[in-house]
Amino acid sequence: MNNSLPWPTAAEVLPLATVRPVLDRLSSLVNTHEQDASLILGLAVTEEEVAADPPPALEQLGDELGGIQVRGQTMLTLQIEDRTDVGPYTLLGDATTFYPLYETPDSAVVLALDEDGAPGAVYGIGEDLALRLAAPDLPAYLDRFAGALEATLSALAARGPAAEDVEDARTEAAEQLMDRYLFTELLGMDEEAEETDVPLQDPAASGLADLPAGTLAVADLRTAPLGARVDLMEVDVPGDPLEMHLAWREHGLVIALLGG
């Protein structure tokens, strides 16, 4: 495994058995709809040189699965090659505290990683930089992704064979379908949608222990529903919000906002 980042290594590797059913489901969907979907091979089976640098806790999963493409567009990846701290990642912490599972120039889906490198909750980040809870853990997100993928591929199949369709129109339809079944909610793309907001509060009033030193505000999503939103820009603390960054606690379900 190519580990160029200083990943923490204390976390246990996510056992492949915990995601085996969803991996089999994804593989079956791709095999059934090979005209519209493809697997990105894992690091242990690909013959191509991959510069990806996934966290050690995802080693078993990443060795088997590199991601999923729909009509040539990567909708799920475990092989991000270029890491950045701008765009949707502006308010996140160090690169070793999260791992992107999907990204566009203005949005992303990220896996939270704790101080030991253990994977936790999954969040969507839209243009507003708010966090939206996508899943409490990676296996749950993969299940949710598989459901959206199945709905998308079934709708594409209903258009008829890919060879008889207009290529650009089919590709555009695939993107719209994945948005409809997954990304619109995760990335806050529907301005009319009602959302559950979880406020950032004073850490002294939160009753939460083991918060990082320098925590200015904290949000607790341990009992929040999927889709719950934390608006990182709407917080009354000293300093420029764009110079702040996050730290995770409680498997990524407690979000601490720290000064720059």
Asked whether residue 219 carries a pLDDT value surpassing 50, the answer given is yes
| pLDDT over 90, % of the chain | 80
Higher pLDDT, 70 or 243: 70
Give the pLDDT band of residue 260 (cuts 50, 70, 90).
Answer: low
Strands of 71-214 (E only): list them. Answer: 73-77, 98-103, 108-113, 119-125, 131-135
Any residues with CB less than 8 A from the CB of 222 and at least 6 apart, and which? Answer: 250, 253, 254
How far, in Å, CA of 203 to CA of 209, rounded? 9
| pLDDT tens figures, 151-172 | 999 999 999 999 999 999 999 9
Asked if the model's pLDDT at residue 3 lies above 60, the reply is no
Domain ranges of the chain: 16-186, 203-258
147 dihedral zone (left: phi>0; alpha: psi -120 to 50; beta): alpha
Q: What's the CA gap between 131 and 233, in Å, rounded?
A: 10
Mean of pLDDT values over 163-190: 96
CA 22, 26, 27, 32 dihedral sign is: positive
What's the token pair of residue 68?
A: 């999923």
Instruction: Give residue 238's pLDDT.
Output: 76
Residue 2: pLDDT over 80: no
Give the C-alpha separation, 137 to 7, whole Å. Answer: 19
CA distance 222 to 56: 25
Which CATH number describes the domain made up of 16-186? Answer: 3.40.1580
pLDDT in tens, 71-82: 999 999 999 988
Please report the beta strands in the chain, taking only residues with DSSP state E, as ranges in sequence order: 37-41, 65-70, 73-77, 98-103, 108-113, 119-125, 131-135, 215-220, 229-230, 245-249, 254-258
The strand pairing partners of 109, in sequence order, are 102, 124
- How are strands ordered across the β-sheet holding 37-41? 37-41, 65-70, 73-77
